[in-house]
Structure 1
Amino acid sequence: MTITIPQTLALGPEATTDLIETYKYLHANPELSMQEHRTADYLAKRLEELGLEVTRCGGTGVVAVLRNGEGPVIGMRADTDGLPVLEDTGLDYASTATGQLDDGTEVPTMHACGHDTHMATALATAALYAGAKDAWAGTIVFVLQPGEETAAGARAMVEDGLWDKAPKPEVMFGQHVMNGLSGTVTLMAGAAMTTADSFKVTVYGQGSHGSMPEHSIDPIVLGAAMVLRLQTIVSRQVAPQSAAVVTIGSFHAGLKENVIPDRAVFTLNVRTFEPEVREIVLTSIRRIIAAEAEASGAPEPLIEDISAFPPLFNDPTETEKLTEQFRTEFGDDRVLPGSPVMGSEDFGALAAAIEVPSVFWFFGGNTAETLAAGHPPANHSPFFAPEIDPTLVTGVRAAVRALYSKVGK
């Protein structure tokens, strides 16, 4: 069904200027996951000025409710955290901010995943709806969520009573800027992003002089055997028709070339779509690590959880409806079919907590020239900088259209 959005919900020149200025400010002032204190203050102030009911939730999370009479309750999420990345974009609004990791290490901080884009478009969307109450009816719940990069934020907000503090929506929407042509949106029904599990493994051995290996249990050799054997899980224990990734992201051991250390530490990341495949992979990881240690006569290794991202599943019915709405908004050639992404998101936890459907889509951030040149900087790159125009406006139009498909008069 074609729905015409009133002009009062369209960005004018002044609102577009404010959108860009907001984006540049947020880009220049990132904060690390679950440390978004100044960001939360800024968002809360802006939303309160628009007349929304603002509540803090989950530490540095913000939930803002815009009520406008009887009608559906719809949720819209934007994430707020930056990454420990040194920006190298050369932009005049580039971040020079720093933050501290949990261990106290000071690191550069950058919005290298586009969360500044998400916040700016959410604020602009809230402003449009707050200023056009004659065009719609219902309640919109804006969830400004911290800690997406660590999978801590959605869980923290839910555990802090998010859906007791705010009206429960009948559907949750969310979006993410990604590599792709600016001005386009991409969405897919069903499995959209993977479950992701991350672990830290401490391998214990027995230290010795490098000239006397017979007196050691070498944790480097042992850890290396684990790393190589772990790579056989996907190739030999997961069916070729199923998708899975096992990545060893770091390996640290020893301080000197002639000293065999007494331990090694590595981290690994697992991505799967299907619960059954996830169980196979996780069980195999623990079995291989324990077996390799036993084969070397080493103590049992310590496996510690780092993070766990839930699956992201787009409700097929709601996705089909929204696809048609986006085609009306952008044209058929600007609404692209997607395929499941091996990246992960904790967005799904917000809807899963109250058992309502959700839809998550992507919008492009690259010019045609950048894409044609090949290998444009992707999310998490120090060079990641979405094209401002029309990326930001596209994000606002997509959010406005999605919400209006539910609350529009």
Structure 2
Amino acid sequence: MKKALSTLAAISLLAAPAAADPLADAVKADMPSLLAIYRDLHANPELSFEEVKSAAKMAAEAKKAGFEVTTGVGKTGVVAVLRNGPGPVVLLRADMDGLPLIERTGLPFASKVKATTREGAETGVMHACGHDTHMTAWIGTARRLAAMKGQWSGTLVMIGQPAEEIGSGARAMLEDGLYTRFPKPSTVIAFHDGPGPAGVISYVDGYTMANVDTVDLTVKGVGGHGAYPHLAKDPIVLAARIVTALQTLVAREVDPLESGVVTVGSFIGGTKHNIIPDETKLQLTVRSYTPEVRKILLDGIARIAKGEAIAAGMPEDRMPVMTLKDGITNATFNTQPLTGQIAAAFTERFGKDRVRPGRAQMGGEDFSQFYLADKENIQSLLFWVSGTPKAQWDAAGGDMTKLPSIHSPFWAPDPEVTIGTATEAMVTAALTVLGKK
């Protein structure tokens, strides 16, 4: 514990609040306990919809703080409710799942967990997206808001969400009655860690994360001997044409002032040098912000695939088959006036140097579902807390291309600064919305 406290004392001024106050002092005092929880969560990650132990730890901590706790919501989700008089209902979310990835950080508490994916592959498991910092800050936030009940009025709903990494957990919780079995929020808030100087908060007004569509494209052909291609119809050549033509969707069909991505991440076909296969499979990820661009891209993929097949002389019964996979993620949208109000509160607490407007990203987040479930009546904000350790950031000269990012086997944020900043920020955000006594 002494070592942890000395580490806290050495945290750079970047991670200190603009002025000391009771909240900052309470978070610092709680940090040794939070770091122990963080290391445990980091060393024991669980895959999507398997977050049983993680959920149990969060539930136990919320119960200790005085919340009414329900587990098993949306399979493995946690819902903790704290009623504290009349006022708004605020939902704070942390996601829980790890990634199928072998950790290579070299940390003394690095994950050694092995598991089997839904597809049947044996894999390591790692919190390479920082959900361990999310869960830990969630616990710190629950403790602080419970201890500060005299300063706010309303209802706090804190959820541990499963399966964010496969885009299914938020929807599963909603379908299991999140907004009917429990108080329905007027405001939903979450944070995500990421690369950048540790302790800096960033936010985006409007679209902040993208629609994510996962597309499987089966390109059919007529198999045969590689020495006699004129007797076959080669699906590999056809698939190559399709991949090339797909590049024109964003370049020539999407408004240059809009954003879109069509990436072919997998091209699978054939078994032997001299065999022309019957079919080839392409796997795509498609990103956009607006519904209009999303439709242009998805419709365009189907049209180009069929058009190239016709041009290649494929019969009607050998047209490509396009399939949208489960776990479709909708774009995350930060609303006004909530975004402006909380950004102002962050600036007041942390100072202008630590609170910055950010840029929208093409990554996906199913946090969007909590807003989209009733967007006429719900305000929403997802903000970022940077976590790159100061020594790494300085050594790289602030060049992000030289540093690990989320989903890297080397991602290891500074836990003291990231968790401390996120806890203070989540408490500040909640208090900005909740009515005061």
Q: TM-score, normalised by structure 2?
A: 0.89
**Equivalent pairs, count:** 406
Structure 1 letter corresponding to 2:336: P
> Paired residue for 2:334?
314
> Paired residue for 1:23?
38
Q: 1:120 aligns with which of 133, 136, 146?
A: 136
Structure 1 letter corresponding to 2:385: F
Cα RMSD for the two superposed structures: 1.7
What is the rounded CA distance, in whole Å, between the counterparts of 1:67 and 1:204 in structure 2? Answer: 58
Partner SS state of residue 74, structure 1: strand
**Does 255-264 or 152-161 show the bigger shift?**
255-264
> In 2, are the aligned partners of 1:88 and 1:383 still within 8 Å (CA)?
yes
What is the rounded CA distance, in whole Å, between the counterparts of 1:79 and 1:376 in structure 2? Answer: 24
> In 2, are the aligned partners of 1:151 and 1:346 still within 8 Å (CA)?
yes
Which consecutive residues of structure 2, in runs of 5 or more, have no partner in the other structure?
Answer: 1-18
> Paired residue for 1:362?
384
> Paired residue for 1:54?
69
> In 1, are the aligned partners of 2:164 and 2:365 still within 8 Å (CA)?
yes
Task: Return the offset for 1:183.
Answer: 1.3
Structure 2 letter corresponding to 1:215: L
> In 1, are the aligned partners of 2:28 and 2:420 still within 8 Å (CA)?
no
1:165 aligns with 2:181: yes
Task: Return the offset for 1:8.
Answer: 6.0
What is the rounded CA distance, in whole Å, between the counterparts of 1:212 and 1:49 in structure 2? Answer: 73
> In 1, are the aligned partners of 2:219 and 2:320 still within 8 Å (CA)?
yes
What is the rounded CA distance, in whole Å, between the counterparts of 1:98 and 1:294 in structure 2? Answer: 46
Which consecutive residues of structure 1, in runs of 5 or more, have no partner in the other structure?
Answer: none
> In 2, are the aligned partners of 1:47 and 1:64 still within 8 Å (CA)?
yes
1:140 aligns with 2:156: yes
Q: 1:239 aligns with which of 255, 261, 270?
A: 255
> Paired residue for 1:346?
366
> In 1, are the aligned partners of 2:128 and 2:408 still within 8 Å (CA)?
yes
Alpha-carbon deviations, 1:170-200, whole Å to 9, x = none?
1111100011111110012111111111111
> In 2, are the aligned partners of 1:231 and 1:246 still within 8 Å (CA)?
yes
> Paired residue for 1:403?
430
What is the rounded CA distance, in whole Å, between the counterparts of 2:49 and 2:244 in structure 1? Answer: 34
**Does 190-199 or 318-327 show the bigger shift?**
190-199
> Paired residue for 2:193?
177
> In 2, are the aligned partners of 1:75 and 1:142 still within 8 Å (CA)?
yes
**Does 166-175 or 368-377 show the bigger shift?**
368-377
What is the rounded CA distance, in whole Å, between the counterparts of 2:24 and 2:353 in structure 1? Answer: 23
Q: 2:273 aligns with which of 246, 251, 257?
A: 257
Alpha-carbon deviations, 1:250-277, whole Å to 9, x = none?
1111222222221111111111112212
Q: 1:371 aligns with which of 382, 389, 393?
A: 393
Task: Return the offset for 1:317.
Answer: 0.9
> Paired residue for 2:124?
108
What is the rounded CA distance, in whole Å, between the counterparts of 2:313 and 2:277 in structure 1? Answer: 16
Q: TM-score, normalised by structure 1?
A: 0.95
